[in-house]
Amino acid sequence: MLQKSVELDVRAPSVKTEVIAGVTTFLTMSYIIFVNPEILSTTGMDRNAVFVATCLAAALGSLIMGLVARWPIGMAPGMGLNAFFAFTVVGAMGFTWQQALGAVFISGVIFLLLTVSGVRSWLIAGIPHSMRSAIAAGIGLFLAIIALKNADIVVANKATYVTLGDVTRMGPLLAILGFFIIAGLDSLKVRGAILIGILVITVLSMLLGVTKFNGIVSMPPSILPTFLQLDVMGALHAGLLHVILVFVLVEVFDATGTLIGVAKRAGLIEEGQPNRLGRALLADSTAIVAGSLLGTSSTTAYVESASGVQAGGRTGLTAVVVAALFIAALLFSPLAGSVPAYATAPALLYVACLMLRELVEIEWEDVTDAAPAALTALMMPFTYSIANGLAFGFISYAVLKTVTGRAREVHAATWLVAALFIVRFALVAG
């Protein structure tokens, strides 16, 4: 039955290879079980409940991907959107985390409808390649400033807005050490480099008295503080409509790009051959809705799944193994509660560095492409909002193409998104 469910006998070299691939993927993406509770707990959400919700959402999403799409891709709450959820929607805009969860739920439903109707493919085809790359790079810069702030490496300053903190203090020193450990291990192709870096700094912080040791293993805590706590009606507030738009747009680009990229690497998408991309898109759409009900930000496909593909993963069994390991991770809630911000900050910063590689994909020779892309990436960290970055990028792209006589190059999808953001600014001004 398992072979039939994941098409093991068709594509996989062996069960052992698939299991190894699943373990490899889990090790490279399991840092999220420490980072996500750290980020979302800043909104007032119960940290232990978020830990459980993170593990369950990752397990459920990966299981759906493995059994429905039968692809070797792991899923979990996405980096970037969790920061947008916590620091922009709740922290800066002042909405409750329950309303933010409601916005995630609505975006998931819209995402699901866009996938089923085929509009998702139309949106993807209509967004300029340079803008897609800029969005990824901008989110990376947004994560970077959050990481540097959490590590006290960058602090507030009345004269210059931001400045260098006291990097001789123990916290910033631990964060800097953690970054070097992660980057060094990853350059040496060590599997689970980010996870190892988080754990090493956590242990060091305990030994130095910076963090209290809460234990390693225990029965999973209750998920009730976040389970079904979303406020859907509150999310329909006019101020959250553009937040839902941002969630949808980032989910469309991030998840779809990851799915196609990893699937191509695994040889699962071949020109002129039938594939399961439609099922994979449906799986990740469903996972967003389920994650919001559990109590976490948007769930998405993880690019770290490429490590499992590199290890030989070719079928859904790889994703099923990832799901099983996230379930097993529920027993490590005391350890997750002991991880300090100084241990998760270097992980955020390193992920940010990886995301900045997208800048090379931008057409820098064409100003009408380069300027909007640059604005998109720059406005995200400087306004502390992914939404503002998207707005400035899409609007400037449409305007610059128009004033240079190249309006025909602007796809209808780009016009639509730009118009929606203009309406959003008009409503705020009004």
Q: Which amino acid, one-letter code, is at 204? A: L
d(CA 392, CA 86): 21
CB 11 within 8 A of CB 314: yes
Looking at residue 56, what is its pLDDT? 93
pLDDT higher than threshold 60 for residue 390: yes
Mean pLDDT score of the chain: 83
Percentage of the chain exceeding pLDDT 90: 20
Percentage of the chain exceeding pLDDT 70: 90
| Bigger pLDDT: 18 vs 28 | 18
- The number of helix segments (H) and strand segments (E) in the chain equals 21, 4
Report the interhelical angle of 238-265 vs 97-117 (nearest 10°).
50
What does the buried/exposed string (b/e) look like for 185-208 if buried means 16 or more CB atoms within 10 Å of the residue's CB? bbeeeebbbbbbbbbbbbebbeee
pLDDT higher than threshold 60 for residue 99: yes
The answer to the question of residue 390 being in a domain is: no
pLDDT-wise least confident of 7-21, 89-103, 264-278 = 264-278
Confidence of residue 272 (pLDDT cuts 50, 70, 90): very low
Report the interhelical angle of 238-265 vs 386-403 (nearest 10°).
80
Contacts of 416 (CB under 8 A, 6+ apart): none
pLDDT higher than threshold 80 for residue 386: no
> If you ran DSSP here, which 8-state letter would residue 158 be given?
T
The answer to the question of residue 153 being in a domain is: yes
3-state secondary structure of 368: helix
Domain count, the chain: 1
The answer to the question of residue 158 being in a domain is: yes
The answer to the question of residue 274 being in a domain is: yes
pLDDT higher than threshold 80 for residue 82: yes
What Å distances lie between residue 236 and 98, 241, 245, 344, CA to CA? 12, 7, 12, 33
pLDDT higher than threshold 90 for residue 13: no
What is the pLDDT averaged over residues 356-372?
A: 90
pLDDT higher than threshold 60 for residue 51: yes
What is the pLDDT averaged over residues 357-372?
A: 90
CB 316 within 8 A of CB 21: no
d(CA 281, CA 217): 35
The answer to the question of residue 369 being in a domain is: no
Domain range enclosing 208: 2-362
d(CA 117, CA 143): 33
The answer to the question of residue 392 being in a domain is: no
pLDDT digits (tens, 9 = 90+) for 109-149: 888 888 788 777 777 777 788 887 888 788 788 888 888 98
Confidence of residue 2 (pLDDT cuts 50, 70, 90): low
What is the pLDDT averaged over residues 331-335?
A: 81
| Bigger pLDDT: 8 vs 115 | 115
d(CA 329, CA 24): 15
What Å distances lie between residue 175 and 96, 150, 171, 188, CA to CA? 30, 9, 6, 20
Element (H, E) at 299: strand 299-301
Confidence of residue 62 (pLDDT cuts 50, 70, 90): very high
Looking at residue 59, what is its pLDDT? 93
The answer to the question of residue 374 being in a domain is: no
Looking at residue 50, what is its pLDDT? 92
The answer to the question of residue 385 being in a domain is: no
Residue whose entry in the numeric block shows the structure tokens 């769930």: 299
pTM over 0.95: no
Contacts of 280 (CB under 8 A, 6+ apart): 65, 69, 71, 73, 259, 263, 301
| Bigger pLDDT: 364 vs 266 | 364
What Å distances lie between residue 231 and 102, 106, 235, 247, CA to CA? 5, 10, 6, 16
pLDDT digits (tens, 9 = 90+) for 341-362: 888 788 878 888 887 888 888 8
CB 379 within 8 A of CB 138: yes
Contacts of 264 (CB under 8 A, 6+ apart): none
